[in-house]
Amino acid sequence: MSDGSEAMKNFISAPAWWSTKILTEVARTDDGVGSLLNMLRERGRRPFFIIDGALEGQLGFKPLFERDEVFMFRASESEPRTGDVDRLVALLRNKRDLPDTVVGVGGGSSMDLAKAVGICVANPKQAEAYQGYGLDMKKGSEIWVLPTLNGTGAEVTPIAVLRGPEKKLGINNNFTAPAVAVVDPRLSAGAPKFNRFYTMMDCFFHHYEITKSRTSANDAVRDSIKGLDMAKSVLSRSLAVYDLETAVTSAMASTLGGSSSIGGRVGVSHAISYGLSNSSPKLPHSVAVTISMLACRDIYDDGGYDDTVKFLEINGMPAPRAADYGIDESHITKMTTIALGMEKLWQSHFGDDWQSIVNDRFVRDIYKRVVTM
């Protein structure tokens, strides 16, 4: 196998490979940390860094941890919560010199936290009040991101997913989109196999569900068809050992995952996964969608289910079970209510007539399979 340097060269010089118009400048580089710091300096930004604490021991990230303005986020312990956003916003507002740029460094959770802090700093209410769509918000600090895991798409989406006291829901606003994403596929070299595998699984589900969607924009579907090919090629290999060529493909699939989510809509597996996540805060989103897909064999019988089984096998991953995350029969009613509320996702898969197929019984049956798998 090649050392990936050719793939890296192509990645840096390739014209934009996505069709959807995105709000983010995607800067491709093979020196992520150095390029990020250079660009911040050249543009005269005053940055505040939110960095995934798991990166602390990795030598390549040392220049970031040596900065004064750093908050270490323990992304492995929890998804970002609205309370985390409120605390960081208060911290920033108390500074004599308010930073003009919030930089998120890490996986989807760290980037989402930075995105939420970036916008909320300019808005008076607590973060919880801004979870939703179409809310009137002011533009806050400029948001920059440096992804260290490829596949979330968070580097280009105008969404910051937060867990609040009431619900897990994103702040969806154009001012939440990163202004700049510095993308270097080498940065995922230190991420555990579990994270690299499941992040790409979610990338695969996004692309697959959007290609089957009846309500997604044409550009989004075009991006997802391309991204689906890339995600499948990554997941058809063993990810046990980090490999640069695979990381480059993952980074490209990730950009497409972000761009396609702007005009695209996922479907049934995601609707089902939200019920699961609600019942088990410790269950990672990507694992929740995998469990959901495994319970939807009859709905996704044209590749989605079979590929999921195959990808788990190739990577020696046991099929995840809801029971391992404390989910049992007693949660079915609550999960059914949550999933049924995701109307746009059901409509995305089944079309305008979705209610003739999807009802309480239909969803309940899926969850019955989930808890007995």
Question: What is the nearest approach in angstroms of Zn ion to the Cβ of residue 125?
Answer: 27
Q: What is the distance between the alpha carbons of residues 313 and 74, in angstroms, rounded to a whole number?
A: 30
- Count of residues near Zn ion by CB under 5 A: 1
User: Can you tell me whether residue 102 is helix, strand or coil?
Assistant: strand
Closest approach, Cβ 153 to Zn ion, in A, equals 9
Kindly list the distances between the CA atom of residue 110 and the CA atoms of 55, 252, 272, in Å, as whole numbers in the listed order.
Answer: 11, 20, 25
CB closer to Zn ion out of 202 and 307: 202
What is the side-by-side order of every strand in the sheet holding 180-183? Answer: 25-28, 180-183, 142-147, 101-106, 47-52, 70-73
Question: By three-state DSSP, how is residue 54 classified?
Answer: helix
Residue 141 or 273: the one with the smaller Cβ distance to Zn ion is: 273
Would you say 106 or 153 has its CB closer to Zn ion? 153
Nearer to Zn ion, 88 or 159 (CB): 159
E strand or H helix at 331: none
| Bridge partners for 104 per DSSP | 50, 145
Give CA–CA dist 267/50, Å, rounded: 32
User: Which residue stretch of 122-130, 198-206, 296-304, 316-324 sits at the interface with Zn ion (rule: CB under 5 A)?
Assistant: 198-206
The piece of 37-45, 178-186, 201-209, 318-326 that touches Zn ion (CB under 5 A) is 201-209
Q: How far is the CB of 209 from Zn ion (least distance, A)?
A: 9
- Do 237 and 315 meet the contact criterion of CB atoms below 8 Å apart? no
Shortest Å distance, C-beta 204 to Zn ion: 10
Q: Minimum distance between the CB of residue 98 and Zn ion, rounded to whole angstroms?
A: 33
202 contacts Zn ion (rule: CB under 5 A): yes
**Which listed range, 64-72, 125-133, 143-151, 202-210, lies at the site for Zn ion (CB under 5 A)?**
202-210
112 binds Zn ion (CB under 5 A): no
> Which of 106, 257 has the CB closer to Zn ion?
257
What's the min distance (Å) between Cβ of 200 and Zn ion? 11
List phi, psi (to 5°) of 128. -50, -35
Per-residue CA distances from 85 to 23, 30, 311 (Å): 23, 31, 36
What six digits make up the tokens of 70? 């750093």
Alpha-carbon Rg of the chain, whole angstroms? 20
CB nearer to Zn ion: give 155 or 202: 202
At residue 136, the 3 state secondary structure works out as coil
Least Å distance, CB 285 to Zn ion, is 6
Which among 5-13, 156-164, 195-203, 220-228 is the span making contact with Zn ion, rule CB under 5 A?
195-203
Nearer to Zn ion, 222 or 265 (CB): 265
Query: 142-147 and 70-73: which strand pairing?
Result: unpaired
The residue number with the shortest CB distance to Zn ion is 202
Extract the tokens encoding 304.
Answer: 């989605």
| Nearest approach, Cβ of residue 26 and Zn ion (Å) | 20
Counting contacts by CB under 5 A, is residue 79 touching Zn ion? no
> Among the candidate windows 94-102, 147-155, 194-202, 242-250, which touches Zn ion by CB under 5 A?
194-202
Q: Mapping DSSP to helix (H, G, I), strand (E, B) and coil, where does residue 125 land?
A: coil
Residue 22 C-beta: closest distance to Zn ion, Å: 18
> Percentage helix, strand, coil, to 5, in the chain?
55, 10, 35
Contact positions toward Zn ion, by CB under 5 A? Answer: 202
